[in-house]
Structure 1
Amino acid sequence: MFCVSQLTIEQDKRLLWNNLSFDLSAGERLGISAPSGYGKTMLGRVLAGWQTYQQGQITLDGLPLPKHGYCPVQLVPQHPELTFNSFRTTGDALRDAWSPDETQMAHFHVNPEWLTRKPGQLSGGELARIALLRALDPRTRLLIADEVTAQLDPPIQRDIWQRLIIESQQRGLSIIIFSHQLALLQQICTRIIVAPV
C-alpha cells in the first residue's frame, strides 16, 4: 500500500535520514523510534507530502501522493496548534475534513463544547485530540502520529491508543507512530524501526 524507497532527507546541509526504505500494509502499525532532535518531525512531514526531500520515492498504491484535494495520508504533528487557523473555531477546522458524531468524539475524549472555541482558548492537549480526530476522516488510509499523546495524562493516552488500535484493526487504517519511548511502541506497534545512533 504505502512504499518508501531509498529516502534521503537533509536539513541545512545536515543529513537526517539516509536511504530509508520500508513498505506498510493496510492495518499495519509501524513505530519509528529515535531520540529527540534526530529528525522525526521532518520525516513525518516528508512522508505526509508536506515537505520535499533530496532523493528516493514515496508512493501510495504505486502512485505519488496527491498534491491537490484530500490526501489519504494524514499527519498529526507534535505541535498540532500550528495546524489551526487562530481566527476560526476548532469546530470549523474539524468540519472542513468531516463531521464525527458524539460517539466518535467521545472515543478521543473530545468535549463538543471545545468546537465552539478558537485554538487560543484551548490547551495543547485539547487541540491534540481535536487534530487527531480531524485526521481520522473516513477517507484516511494512513495516519502519521508524531508524539501525539505526549501532552495527555496517562489514562487518556491509554484510551486513545486503544482506540487507534481498534481503528487500525476494523477499518484497515495504517499508522506510523514516532516516539522516543521504545516501550510505548512495543505495546502498540506490529513492527518497529529503530534509528541508528
Structure 2
Amino acid sequence: MAASCSTPIAGSYGRHCPATDLGGLLPGRLKQLDRASLQGSRLGWRYGSNEWLFREYSVEITPGEVVGLMGPSGTGKSTLGKLLAGYMVPTEGKVLLGDRNLPGSGYSPVQLIHQHPELAVNPRWTIGKMLAEGWQPDTSILKAFGIQEAWLERYPNELSGGQLQRCCMVRALGSQTKFIVADEMSAMLDAVTQAEIWHALLAIANERSIGILAISHDAALLDVVADRLIGLTSSAFVIPCIE
C-alpha cells in the first residue's frame, strides 16, 4: 500500500505529495517562502554516543543561489544535505526556512535528489505515477531533461540509472519547490549528459529563484555551476568560501 501524503514517505522514497496538499501552507505563507533563505544554524550530528561527525556548522543558502559543498569522504556531506532537506533531525542546532522550521509532514519546499535514484523511488509505481505524486510536469520540462513519453509507462527497473535520475530530478522540481539539495546527483553520468541536465536544472532554478546545495567530489563541476564553495573537513571546521 502506498504511503499517505500526510506523513513523509519512509526512508528512501522521499517527501512528496500532490501539489494540492501543501501541508497547511497558506498562499501568504508561500509568498514569504519565495524570499526566505535556507539556514542551518550551529548544526551537529552523531549517531548515539559515537563521535561527532560534525558540530557547530552553520550555512545559509539564499533563493536562486547555487552553493557547492566539497570535502573528503566520511566528513558528513550527505548527512548535512539530509539535515537541510529534513530527512534527518540534527543532534544539535536547527534548520530553518526563513524564520520557521521545515514542515514535518506533507509537502516539503526543500527537495533532495539522491546519488542513487533506485533508492528514491517506489519500484511498484510507473514513472508517470511517480511524477504525478508531486506535480504534473509539462512537456517542455520533460523535453528539457530528455525524458521520453514512453518512459512514463515504464517501471524504475526498466530504465537505466541515468534515465531514472532524470525523472527524479523532474519530480523534485514541483511548483512549490524553493530549494534543492543535489547530492552527487550526476556522478553516475557521462560528461555530455552531466552537462545537459545541469544546464536544464540551472535554467529552471534561475527562472524560479530556486536555491541549490550542490554536493560533489568533482571540483571542476562545482567550479562551473556554483556561485561559491563551502566545505566540511574531518575536524568539522568550515572550509572558507571560495568566491
Q: Secondary structure at the match of 2:68?
A: strand
The residue that corresponds to 1:65 in the other structure is: 102
Structure 1 stretches lacking a partner, 5+ long: none
Q: Secondary structure at the match of 1:104?
A: helix
Separation in 2, partners of 1:84, 1:112 = 18
Q: Counterpart amino acid of 2:229?
A: I
Structure 2 stretches lacking a partner, 5+ long: 1-36, 235-243
Q: Which has the larger radius of gyration?
A: 2
Matches for 1:144-163 after TM superposition, within 5 Å: 144-163=181-200
For each residue in 1:30-72, what CA deviation from the matched residue of structure 2 results, as whole angstroms up to 9, or x when unmatched? 1100223332222221111111221001100110000121110
Q: Secondary structure at the match of 2:53?
A: strand
Q: Secondary structure at the match of 1:74?
A: strand
The answer to whether residue 71 in structure 2 is matched with residue 10 in structure 1 is: no
Separation in 2, partners of 1:36, 1:102 = 38
RMSD over aligned CA atoms reads 1.3
The residue that corresponds to 2:68 in the other structure is: 31
The residue that corresponds to 2:28 in the other structure is: none
For each residue in 1:60-102, what CA deviation from the matched residue of structure 2 results, as whole angstroms up to 9, or x when unmatched? 0110000121110000111121121111111101111111122
Q: Which has the higher strand share?
A: 1
Q: Counterpart amino acid of 2:160?
A: S
Deviates more, 1:153-162 or 1:59-68: 153-162
The question of whether the paired residues in 2 share the 8 Å contact of 1:41 and 1:78 is answered with: no
The residue that corresponds to 1:48 in the other structure is: 85
The question of whether the paired residues in 1 share the 8 Å contact of 2:76 and 2:232 is answered with: no
The question of whether the paired residues in 1 share the 8 Å contact of 2:75 and 2:233 is answered with: no
The answer to whether residue 116 in structure 2 is matched with residue 79 in structure 1 is: yes
The TM-score normalised by the length of structure 2 is: 0.77
Q: Secondary structure at the match of 1:11?
A: coil
The residue that corresponds to 2:151 in the other structure is: 114
Separation in 2, partners of 1:183, 1:35 = 15
Q: How many residues align?
A: 197
Q: Secondary structure at the match of 1:14?
A: coil
Structure with more contact order per residue of length (Cα contacts < 8 Å, sep ≥ 6): 1
- Percent identity of equivalent pairs: 37
The answer to whether residue 224 in structure 2 is matched with residue 187 in structure 1 is: yes
1:103 to 140, 143, 156: 140
2:210 to 133, 157, 173: 173
Please report how far the alpha carbon of residue 194 of structure 1 lies from its aligned counterpart in structure 2 after TM superposition.
2.3
